[in-house]
Structure 1
Amino acid sequence: MGRPRVALVDSGGTNIGSVRYALDRIGADARLTSDPADILAADRVILPGVGAAGAGMRRLRQAGLVDVLHQVEQPLLGVCLGMQLLFERSAEDGGTECLGLLAGEVVPIPRAPGLRVPHMGWNTLTALREDPLTAGLADGSRAYFVHSYAVPVTPDTVLTTEHSGTWSAVVRHGNRWGAQFHPERSARTGARLLRDFVLEVAP
């Protein structure tokens, strides 16, 4: 059996190279692509992203990938902005219609005394329910976040984190997962999450 084929969707984010390197280290055959055939033929699909929701959705529309991502039946993981784009709408950029693959809206993190926005740095993860993607993570594991907008807790929330409120850190509905933190910058926590996505979650 060959290495799992991972389509790394070319969404224009500056973190794509480091995500690809992290996937290579766990033995995945990760290919950066915007080709619909490559995406739909892969064993796993990862939608990375950094920056603003409006620009992220424009890139996906210009590349003709919105309908393609709706057709994906294999496991799909959105990372950072990529997770936010899986939802119906983001309040960012005056309101942005997103992919609508998960129910809910992305909202700004409110400012609070002593807490900086954007939320930037290491933070603790708390499990709400079990999931094969997070089975290898101990409750209380820490991960690296960089974001000003976040997803409130929904029925699809698997892990939460706290920063001026309680937010979704990992979500899952069917074969669609999202991680708000940067796995490629989250040391063993991030490496284990990527490993479990590539090797453990059922297709």
Structure 2
Amino acid sequence: MAEIINAENKPEKQVEYATFWSRAGAYILDGIIVGAFTLIINAINIANFKSFLIYIPIAIVAIFYKPFMESKYGATFGKMALKLKVTDQNFNQIDFKQSLLRSIILIFPAILFVPIYYFAFNNPNLAEYSQIFEFAQGLATEYPIQSWISNLGFLIIVIDIIVLLTDQTKTQRSLHDRIGKTYVLFYRK
């Protein structure tokens, strides 16, 4: 944020809102970072253990990554790499509650997967699969509701993007920004 001088010769912060493409880039980077971690651990779990107790910490990391990072550091790793920061309406750092609220539309579908995985890891029909993609196909066959949840998550992301792209203000706010009463800014020191 650059400083500008107002009419009373006092410095003010000039705000530069993050663009769609910078936000999309941060989202992709976060997907690679968290996705790679969870995919590797899940693949090891499915190949060797098929343990719901191993799945739970993975799910917790995936679910709480954004709220934790944004409340603690003001940004996820993807946002940090692109010099973005999440703020409240007064351009201050958000707390965990506000970050959780901001992320709720992404967290909700992820939480719905937890009971499915509980049943899946205890399902003898899925015990024979040792490859993650075979397991995923078996999971879709045994629990077709999983496809509905995936589609719900995809629909939420599409709606979030549409809200961001159709924002008529200069603030470039998405649906989850509006829910959490937040802004995403460029943060250049």
Structure 1 or 2, whichever has the larger Rg, is 2
TM range (shorter): under 0.3
Higher RCO structure, 1 or 2 (CA under 8 Å, sep 6+): 2
Q: Could you say which structure has the higher strand fraction? A: 1
